[in-house]
Amino acid sequence: MHFSHFVGVDISKETLDAAIYPAKDKKLDFLHFDNTRKGLRGMISWLKRRGVNPAEMVICAEHTGVYTNPLIEFADKYGIKLSLNSPLEIKRSIGIARGKNDKVDAGRIAEYAHSHMDSLRLYEKPSDAIVKLQYLLTKRRLYVRQRRALLNMKDAIGKYETREARSRNSSSIRECDKLLKKVEDQMEAIIAADPQIKRNYDLLLSVKGIGFINAVNTIVFTNNFKSFDNPRKYACFIGVAPFDHKSGTSVNGKTRVSKICRTQQKAELTMAARSAIIHDPGLRKYYLRKMKEKGGGKDAHGIVLNAVKFKLILRMFAVVRSGQPYKILNY
């Protein structure tokens, strides 16, 4: 991709800092403005005064969750090219950096965009349905954590509390159950209203072990299978793909998965793998055979379970690609 200018934006809750690369005047390449539509319009005016053509530039920023939303909406509305990248990826590409300064960080992001121009991926805004599902997934996890905390408190100190305290705790648990049901009903309504999402959702549920949450997770984090063109990339994103740890003759570590991953989605996929081992005869045979080959034990269980998770990812991508539900073979 060819761009005349690269604009690095450092995002915080209330404000943004922008830097231009290359810049004509080093003293004037930075702008500090509010993280609002008005502030973003001011940024575009500033860029034009600096000789930057918005049609020939790209804005690069770290993806910081909801704080990035105003920039995403603004770029989508006005057709501005946007690239959102992992904060860790940008940080590691910079090398050793001392101190923390928003203006300097914006400049470093702009330089990162320029140095990675050949591999820079432009951000494709998900559909409104995907955005809503992602928001509801976050709300659901919050209610699940609250419910788990209440249950743990009930088990730990329930017998020492008064009747009134136990009643309040039970009432809070029931309220969490109601909220969880409401959120899940909203998610199902969103899925049913979108034919493309509904198609892939039904196909994913045909894979033994994949239930409601793992199906929605996969749809959301693959942008309904638009952001990942093959299952191996998604396995790496989730944290299922193993990597070698070898160097020369002195470093000869075991092949293992990276800790840089989506831990929540990986944990939920682990539950799917455990369920699949129980209910899918083929995967159960595969699991037992691999456990025997690895000699059994706790370490072997983790390795083989990870292989089962990868098989589930392969199956999910396969059914979506073929458009046919998964059929369990007779063993």
Q: What is the CATH T-level fold of the domain 5-115, as seen in this structure?
A: Nucleotidyltransferase; domain 5 (3.30.420)
**Confidence band (pLDDT; 50, 70, 90) for 296?**
confident
Per-residue pLDDT, 146: 94
pLDDT at 316 over 60: yes
Tokens of 234: 């998604």
Q: How many angstroms separate the CA atoms of 93 and 249, rounded?
A: 27
**Least confident segment among 92-101, 182-191, 314-323:** 92-101
What tens digit of pLDDT does each residue of 111-123 get? 889 988 888 889 8
Higher pLDDT among residues 259 and 227, named by residue: 227
Distance CA(331)–CA(324), nearest Å, equals: 21
Per-residue pLDDT at 287: 92
249 versus 83: the higher-pLDDT residue is 83
Task: Locate the domains of the chain by residue range.
Answer: 5-115, 128-193, 195-331
pLDDT band at 175 (very low <50, low <70, confident <90, very high): very high
Q: What is the signed CA dihedral for 12, 16, 17, 22, rounded to 10 degrees?
A: 120
- What global pTM score does this model have? 0.82
34-43, 54-63, 118-127, 215-224: which range is least confident on average? 118-127
Q: Which of 127, 119, 92 lies closest to 258 in space, CA to CA? A: 92
pLDDT at 252 over 80: no
Name the pLDDT band for 225 (thresholds 50, 70, 90): very high
Q: What is the mean pLDDT of the chain?
A: 87
What is the reported pLDDT for 57?
A: 94
pLDDT digits over 59-107, tens only? 999 888 788 989 999 999 999 999 998 877 777 776 656 556 778 888 8
pLDDT of residue 89: 77
- pLDDT number for residue 222: 93
Query: pLDDT-based confidence at 161, cuts 50/70/90?
Result: confident
pLDDT bin (cut points 50, 70, 90) of residue 254 is low
